[in-house]
Structure 1
Amino acid sequence: MKKSVVTNQLIFKVMRFLTLIYFMLSVLFFAAQASPLKAQGLNNRISFNFKNGTLTALLKSIEKKTSLSFVYTNKDAVLNQQVEAVKADNEMVSSLLDRILTPMQLTYVVQNNQVIIKKAVRVKGKVTDEKGLPVPGVNVLEKGSNNTTTTNLNGDYSLNVRESSSTILFRMMGYQTKEFTLKGEAVVNISLIPDETGLSEVVITALGIKRNEKALGYSIATLKGSDVNTVKEVNVVNSIAGKVAGVNVVSTGSDPGSTAMITIRGQSSIATDNQPLFVVDGVPVAHSLRATSEVGRSSVDYGSPVADISPDDIESITILKGASAAALYGSRAGSGVVLITTKSGSSAKKGLGVSFNSNAMFDQAWMFPHFQNQFGAGEYTDDPAVSTTSAWGPRLDIGTKHLQWNSPLDAQSGKPIPTDWVSHPNNAKDFYNTGSTYTNNIAITGKNADGNYRLSYTNMVNKGIVPHTDLSRNTLNLAATYILHPKVKISTNIGYVNNKSDNRPSAYRESVTQMVYSMPSNMNINDLKNYWKPGRENLEQFSPDDSDNPYFVAYEHTNGYDRNRITGNVQAVFDITNDLSLMVRTGLDLYNEEHETKRPFSAKRFKFGGYGVDNSFFKEQNTDFLLSYKKTLNQDWSFGLSVGGNQMDQTNRSTAQRTESLSIPGIYNINNARAGTITNAQYNSRKRINSLYGMGQASFKNMVFLDVTGRNDWSSTLPAQNNSYFYPSVSLSTVLTDVFKVKSDLLSFAKIRANWAQVGSDTDPYQLYNTIPFNQDWGDVKRATIEFNLKNNFLKPEIATSYEFGGDLRFFNNRLGLDVTWYKTNKRNQIINIPTTITSGASNRLINAGNI
């Protein structure tokens, strides 16, 4: 054991050392390659205050402060140019010249220390994709200069270049870079071709930012819509199973509508459920895993709200695995993030489009436990008892006869007649049905120069393999974008989902599965379908032993629910300049859910029946902004800087009324409860997290990439002295095949990456101070009790620190790929409950401890 620990520590230190070496070499590479492209004087910084005058006077002022000299190719034109007041404060000469000359449609070229001022050549045009649709955000730059611009929302651009024979580069994520050499043209329209190699594949990252996959210094995985909607799972989370390395998906039940638990890179927390944050179109949504509802000794799974998303509406799913990838999403992203992007009308052709698809899927119970079919009912081999669930009675299938629960009566004596003592090994198979799921979707799309939309309706009807279980879902989704102004774009995505079921299957003890599995093999389950005693319908069930009849449980123990959910967001993007943009957005996730539980008379646990109604309400609103600045300095260098903030408000409310004793059989209404048997429960909670964050990216020659992020959260669930916590991340990636100019049919692409990050997380509401809850009334006396879990008003946030080092190799023109990642995550200050002596007045107490 000690040797294993030492080995792990040694490996960790070696990987940290290699990461540090990689970082230092990349920095040296940056410095070594950053050779000056201009005269030395252009890189100098100057400060001065120039009042109104001619351009000639301004250039002479610059000459006095530098070693540069200016030459005019059209002196008269230059002399006639008037310049407003210009102030420079430690500004580079090259930046100052760009600022002054560009509005005058002038440019310059450098020869030694001479700067030649000349008339600029204006080139404009439109950039479209292979379908002829405009492509906004394309970087347009003149090769060998600092002259750059980007296309607007309509794909239009305008650029001043130095020569009528200059070469213009067009760069955009996901498309092949295109070069165009001018031959005197004033209008140049370009059509970009998608990069089919995948080396420039665009992926969605934190906060919905689109990035080039090769620029990322951390590991992510992306699934296309076709990967999840070819076979339409009722719970879309199940579609991820087996498709992404390091991601484990386990369904809590065999029913298609069951909740699915997803873990990314294993479990890192002792007390939490280790579930990732789900983000739909940039807005966090309700948790993916919910506790089951307990009824008696059985549990009922009503499914997760994440499952409400229709597979037909999904464009892509991106999984952010490590802390570095998820750091910008804050405390709830400690276990990773699942980003779901829904379809919009942007990819549709102009005009009106209609699509329809229908899907059918069938389920059968396939894998069963190994049942014991050698002995029949009874406590021991010679036990004559046949009305018991114990199955250790006389041996079966040896030609003997025994009295059984359904033995016929002798016509003369009226006594039961022994019947064949044989097994029925297919009881379980005979009980379960063939389940079916039918999904129909229709989508209408429209697009013109001013915007686009997509309206989608999905109907799903499921019949479960357990008799009398079902699930229906109706989904309506609208995605729309409107270009209000060439610099203002408004978009929205609104969805409504209704889930309804008359009966959801239960699990564990007292469930129908437990009844079927524990049935002695000498009983034939097909003889139990008439589960009411003749003449005693709704009063007394028919059961051959001391347990409930499986069909009685299936048809009369019902667990219905009805959930109405609304999700949506409204987003506005303002292109303040070609390089600066502002995004503001607000998103809402709201649902109301009602559970109705019915238990009939004569149930083993509910002799006089039972009834319960639960109502739960959930609302989460996220309001955020992001100010982004992107700049392509020249052919080699580009960078981006973003700052933003988010406010998350979350509200939970629930009420419940239950009774385990009814007055009149078959009347399921809380007013039918016997006097004094109603129990009431209510819970309310609120939570808020305020956040500020920022990120920066730098790229050198599109082959070395550095990312830095930082976020600070203020959580309402932590004490005032500890409710603020900051967590940063740094990642670096290098495309080795570009650095070393590798051209090989064998090795198509090689990239190494490294990152370090921290992510903080808080706790649930109301974990700081103990309260006095109310208990069940004692007659007309109101009772209060004490909590036996001692809260802690000195809690600190959990902090996860992650290290990651990996590589991406692709061979034979990207036909074969290998992605390898080594990572280590330590989570400290874990918020856990530990047992304590009851003499302290509490059985458990909440503390910060643990390091996993």
Structure 2
Amino acid sequence: MRKTVIPVLLVFSLSAYAQETKKADTANTTKIEEVVVTSLGIKRQARSLTYSSQQIGGDELTEVKTPNFLNSISGKVSNVQINRTNGVGSSVRVLMRGNKSANSSQPLYVIDGIPIINGVGKAPEASQYSTMPDAGDVLSSINPDDIESMNFLKGASASALYGSMGGNGVILITTKKGKLGRSSITYNTSLTVDQAYSLPKLQHSYLSYDPAVSGQAPGVSNESWGAKGDSKDHLKDFLQNGTTWVNSLSFQSGTEKSTNYFSIGNTTNKGVVPSSYFDQYNISFRNSSKYLNDKLTLDANFIGSLQNSVNRQTPGVSFSPLVSLYWLPRGVDFDQYNDSNYSFIDKTRLLPAQNWWAIGPDGKFNGNPATQNPYWILNRNRVTVNNKNTYSALSLAYQINPWLSARIRGNYSWNVTDSQRGVSAYSDPNLITSSGINGRLLQNKYENSSTYGDVLLVGSPKLSEDISLDFTVGGSINTSRNTVTEIDNAYLAAPNLFTLSNLQWNVDRSVGDGFHHINYSTKKQIQSVFASASLGYKNMVYVDMTFRNDWDSTLAFTDTNGYDYESVGVNAVLSSIFKLPETINFWKIRGSYATVGLGLPANLTTATTPYNTAYGYIVDAGQILYPKYSLVTDPAFSELFVKPELNKTFEVGTELRLFKNRLNFDITYYNSKATNQLLPVTISSNLGGLPSGSYYVNAGKIQNTGFESSLSYKIFDSGKFGWTANLNGSTNKNKIVELFPDRLKVPENLPLALTGGGAYTKLKVGGSFGDIYGIKFLRDDQGRILVDADGKPLAEKNIGYLGNPNPKFMLGFGNTFNIGKLGISFLVDGKFGGKVLSLTEKANDMLGVSQTSASARDAGGVAIPNAVYAPGTPNAGAAYTGLTDAKTYYKAVGANQESAGIDEAYIYSATTVRLRQASIAYTFDINSSYVRNATVSIVGTNLFFFYKKAPFDPEQVSGNTPGGVGVDSFGIPITRSIGLSLKANF
């Protein structure tokens, strides 16, 4: 049915178009005057671009408010994939045109033409045993009401002027300025109710024991394989409706000489988990003034934010209150352990001790795996995260003559993140070990700063009546500093006093007990020169060329510390060259080729950090255990010397505008090859002079090919009724072409990040980025599952390929209706193809707490399709058609920390189709002395799924590192938000 939408819309439009009596002025409609912001903040006519770019307005980011505005991009921009760990203020993983790097494929962010650093510390780790929550990112702290537009430069040609910073694409953010005319004040407020959904389906119809058997009682085991009997849904009672309240107030004014914009904002969130909350405060100011007869323009900008959160949720098992409720033995009365009964005073030490079913009279934890009281985690394993961010920029532009200007720009961005978790005495011994009788302190502090400055000469001389030239020549210096302090210590002098002065380091302990102190600072500088030129002929044909050379301090120890990047592109505006049918207002074809790169991290090894005052180290029982990797310096292995990663991209595309520019269509094909991947490798024996050891080397090639398209259609555009439809679609194919060279004699695969449960993600030649590997069913040569005499499925001894989480096709379909002063909009977002793994479901099945395990018991067992008895059994080779006992089956395929299970049983389709957001708004024209107008809206986001097979949201990630995508490892539940918003203009 959905495939017929666009043809039907075209029929409607053609009918309306045919009825119009007034012909369009072809000369005017084909003259596309749209101006877009491009690399380095230079504005250009959209018709002259030789590469694909896609722009969205600030109103599209704020129509339905989300705490991190990057979440609002999903479905609105083609070939942009959004993943998140969930939770208010959490960071967002953005991919444009697929994964390109084994390290990070996140794009560069640029505010008003100047690059910024988005990270605030470590990327959230992908592990079942995470200890700290996602601390967010810099962009999550920006007020979306301050954004004028965002432009997505997805290809290498578009981002080549950013050199080694722009290898993964660039997102340009333009902030609001004051406007000429009457001063105005705008107030925005929205209040939404947040509800957790897409939670694991749990059973409440089987107990953890059999009441009919003497001596059996709840709370002896955390497994729920007992007799049939009802139990209460304590998870439902535990979770609460959260609220998110967003407020912002802005003021703008302007004269012909000066414009001003000022705003303040606040976001307050009460989480769906009790005692979790988040506060954010924003302030921004921008002034643009003209001097010297309007020849000199001064532009100053400041953005600041402060974030505070308590009990931001941590994915994984260790500190998740939700996992404790997932695994609560059925039949245990959780009311005995609620928020008023989670602790008691231990008479021996006069300290709060944990009250929980899993703790026996001897104080030892029962259950495998052990869990803690959810309220103990929230109150006695409390975690806080505080972020401070500032961004300040200054730009001077002097108009030398009508076609030439000089610009000097600079910015300073700074952010600090301070996270702390105090683990009280009497917590799970696995979290504090035997030495932690007084508790454990975890503290992470990350401080980042970046100073950027550039000088530009920008010109647009008219060489003749037919030939135009736009050029930019300049240079830049970008210096970044990073200070990291990580402390993990369970040797507290006084119990439950979580201060640095209370920590003991000089104690007799063994190496490897898990506690450490990391402290290092780094500095990195990139010095660059660059140039670009765009030559046009009669506004019909354009040729673009760019060049950039970077000198990187991380490569100062090499013979060649400078690397150049180039691009060339051409387009032809066919609608200006040829006389086309009247319905075609604009038609352009384009093509480009470019090379861009990715620099090296400053803290890679001691050799790459010439500026460091203190290099990274981990102190563990007096030993320095870091860094673990060194660099290849033997000239005989010069091809392995470190250098920037390189991305070579070719793209072609076309753009069409039809029916008085009411229908806009753009499609692009691209082929990119990312080489010189920075890879860790361990060599076990001497290879022709290269000693055994662990090294970082440049090797490998990752290829991405695909199509991306966007369509915008004003189906009806009258004064009383308007209907605009937007469609974004893309497909991307990723392939690992090469990894390590043959002479290294290492396996042609590379694990990315362990996720627990026996499964992990790895790169393998011939595979794709993100491929998931794990334990599979043991099968015969005909692909049939082998079972033992009891019908228990058998497992392979070695791991095998299970699937890839990346969608084969992405589609966003948005509609906006205007009926007088009433506006209605919605966005349907679809991801098609891919496979994901749920370790949560795997553990829940093994423990007998999942609804799946209860349904199997109700059915009398589990049917295993296409199964035969294994060799060595009495019926070897015969078809197995019986039902396997539910407990037997799920004990075999499910898993906890002690059992690998069979991962293949927990692979699900990643396809989803959802109503991403919707709004109904009405505008009141008040036009009083104080209030101009007001818009009241009903808004909603993440409303429901039209289609989803996985037991979790496949967009959810266990961590923003490459290995955390596609694997649900006790993740944070997503939320559905519905509420009201008000926008008033004064």
Deviations 1:204-230 (A, max 9, x none): 110001111121111111010000011
AA partner of residue 314 (structure 2): S
Match of 2:218 among 373, 379, 386: 386
Please give the per-residue CA displacement for 1:705-749, whole angstroms capped at 9, x wherever unaligned.
Answer: 11111111111112432321111111111121221132423x332
Match of 1:714 in 2: 551
- Please give the secondary structure, in 1, of the residue aligned with 2:378: helix
CA distance in 1, matches of 2:506, 2:541: 73
Q: Which residue of 2 aligns with 1:7?
A: none
1:502 is aligned to 310
Quote the Cα distance in structure 1 between the aligned partners of 2:567 and 2:308.
43
Deviation at 1:524, TM superposition (A): 4.8
1:699 aligns with 2:529: no
Confirm or deny that 1:523 pairs with 2:360. Answer: no
Shift of residue 566 of structure 1? 1.3
| Partners of 2:211 and 2:227 within 8 A in 1 | no
Residue 686 (structure 1) aligned with residue 523 (structure 2): yes
Quote how far apart the aligned CAs of 1:776 are. 3.7
Higher mean alpha-carbon deviation, 685-694 vs 526-535, is at 526-535
Q: 2:427 aligns with which of 583, 590, 603?
A: 603
The residue aligned with 1:549 is 373
2:696 maps to what in 1?
Answer: 846
SS in 2 for 1:539: strand
Q: Is 1:512 the equivalent of 2:321?
A: yes
SS of the residue 1:738 aligns to: helix
> Deviations 1:741-760 (Å, cap 9, x if unpaired)?
32423x33221110010112
Does the CA contact (< 8 Å) of 2:541 and 2:573 recur in 1? yes
Report the equivalent of 1:487: 295
1:788 paired to 2:592: no
Q: What is the CA-CA distance between 1:588 and the residue it aligns to?
A: 0.9
Question: Deviation per CA, 1:154-192, whole angstroms, max 9, x where unpaired?
Answer: xxxxxxxxxxxxxxxxxxxxxx9999xxxxxxxxxxxxx
Q: Which residue of 1 aligns with 2:648?
A: 801
Contact 1:726 / 1:760 at 8 angstroms: preserved in 2? no
Counterpart of 2:270?
Answer: 463
Cα 1:198/1:228, change in 2 over 3 Å: farther
Q: 1:304 aligns with which of 137, 140, 144?
A: 137
Choose 1 or 2 for highest CA Rg: 1
Distance 1:767 1:818, change over 3 A: same
| Counterparts of 2:108 and 2:69, CA distance in 1 | 15
Q: Would you say the 8 A contact 2:438–2:496 is kept in 1? A: no
| Aligned-partner Cα distance in 2 for 1:225–1:775 | 44
Alignment of 1:262 onto 2:109: no
Partner of 2:353: 540
Q: 1 CA distance for matches of 2:558 and 2:333?
A: 65
C-alpha separation between the residues in 2 aligned to 1:341 and 1:620? 19
Match of 1:763 among 582, 595, 600: 600
For the residues of structure 1 that align with 2:627 and 2:211, how far apart are their CA atoms? 47
Deviation at 1:843, TM superposition (A): 5.3
Of residues 549, 565, 575, the one that matches 1:737 is 575
Q: What's the TM-score, normalizing by structure 1?
A: 0.70
Contact 1:531 1:543 (8 Å CA) reproduced: no
Counterparts in 2 of 1:16-55, with a 5 A limit? Answer: none
Q: Deviations along 1:514-536, whole A, 9 cap, x unmatched?
A: 22222233335454313434444
Match of 1:204 in 2: 37
Shift of 1:841: 7.6
Task: Specify which of 436, 443, 453 is matched with residue 243 of structure 2.
Answer: 436
Match of 1:225 among 58, 72, 89: 58
Contact 1:334-1:761 within 8 A present in 2 as well:
yes
Matches within 5 A, 1:139-538: 199-253=32-86, 255-270=87-102, 272-288=103-119, 290-292=122-124, 297-345=130-178, 348-377=179-208, 384=216, 386-388=218-220, 390-397=222-229, 422-424=230-232, 426-485=233-292, 486-510=294-318, 511-529=320-338, 530-536=340-346
Which segment drifts farther, 502-511 or 454-463?
502-511
Give the RMSD, CA atoms, in angstroms.
Answer: 2.9
What is the rounded CA distance, in whole Å, between the counterparts of 1:522 and 1:198 in structure 2? Answer: 73
Secondary structure of the 2:424 match is: strand
Unaligned 5+ segments in structure 2 are 1-23, 359-365, 508-514, 610-614, 634-640, 703-986
Q: Distance in 1 between matches of 2:195 and 2:481?
A: 40
In the other structure, the counterpart of 1:570 is 394
Distance 1:278 1:646, change over 3 A: same
Native 8 Å contact 2:128 2:317 kept in 1: no
The 1:370/1:810 distance shift into structure 2, 3 A limit, reads: same
| Alpha-carbon separation, structure 2, partners of 1:601 and 1:313 | 46
Per-residue deviation, 1:807: 1.1
- Give the CA deviation at 1:374: 4.4
CA contact (8 A) 1:478 1:495 kept: yes
Match of 2:683 in 1: 836
Deviations 1:750-780 (A, max 9, x none): 21110010112221124355799765465xx
State the one-letter code of the partner of 1:428: L
Paired letter, 2:409: R
Distance 1:831 1:494, change over 3 A: same
Structure 1 residues 419-476: Cα deviation after superposition (integer angstroms, max 9, x where no partner):
xxx223x333322221211111111112123211111101111111122111111111
Q: Is 1:276–1:337's contact at 8 Å kept on the other side of the alignment?
A: yes
Read off the aligned partner of 1:632 and give its amino acid letter: K
Q: Against the structure 1 CA distance between its residues 763 and 380, is the aligned structure 2 distance closer, same or farther, given a 3 Å change threshold?
A: farther
Q: SS state of the match for residue 507, structure 1?
A: coil
Structure 1 Cα separation of the partners of residues 617 and 158 of structure 2: 44
Deviations 1:588-633 (A, max 9, x none): 1111222222112211023532223333211101100110121224
CA contact (8 A) 2:603 2:616 kept: no
Deviations 1:356-394 (A, max 9, x none): 111112211111123244432269997936325532431
Q: Distance in 2 between matches of 1:616 and 1:664?
A: 27
**CA distance in 1 between partners of 2:541 and 2:163 (Å):** 27
The letter for the 2-side match of 1:249 is: I
Q: Which residue of 1 aligns with 2:442?
A: 612
Q: Which residue is equivalent to 2:490?
A: 660
CA displacement, residues 92-126 of structure 1 (integer Å, 9 cap, x when unaligned) = xxxxxxxxxxxxxxxxxxxxxxxxxxxxxxxxxxx
The 3-state SS of whatever aligns with 1:239 is: helix
Pair 196,177 (structure 1): closer, same or farther in 2 beyond 3 Å: closer
1:381 and 1:393 in contact (8 A); partners too: no
May I ask how many residue pairs the two structures share in their alignment? 629
463-472 or 706-715: bigger deviation = 463-472
Tell whether the 8 Å contact from 2:474 to 2:529 is kept in structure 1 after alignment: yes
Is the Cα–Cα contact under 8 Å of residues 319 and 337 in structure 1 kept in the other structure? yes
**C-alpha distance in structure 2 between counterparts of 1:443 and 1:367, whole Å:** 37
SS at match of 1:820: strand
Deviations 1:655-675 (A, max 9, x none): 234422434444332333457
Distance 1:762 1:376, change over 3 A: same
Higher relative contact order (CA closer than 8 Å, sequence separation 6+) = 2
Q: Among the aligned pairs, what percent are the same residue? A: 28
Matched residue of 1:601: which SS? coil
The alignment's TM-score, normalised by the length of structure 2, stands at 0.60
Partner amino acid, structure 2, of 1:443: S
Q: Secondary structure at the match of 1:364?
A: strand
**Is 1:726 matched with 2:535?**
no
Deviation at 1:679, TM superposition (A): 4.5
Q: In structure 1, what is the Cα distance between the partners aligned to 2:342 and 2:573?
A: 72
Decide whether the 8 Å contact of 2:29 with 2:585 is kept in 1.
no
Check conservation: 2:520, 2:617, Cα contact below 8 A. Answer: no
Residue pair 1:769, 1:791 contacting (<8 A) in 2 also: no
Residue 65 of structure 2: SS of its match in structure 1?
coil
Q: Mapping of 1:626-645 within 5 angstroms?
A: 626-645=456-475
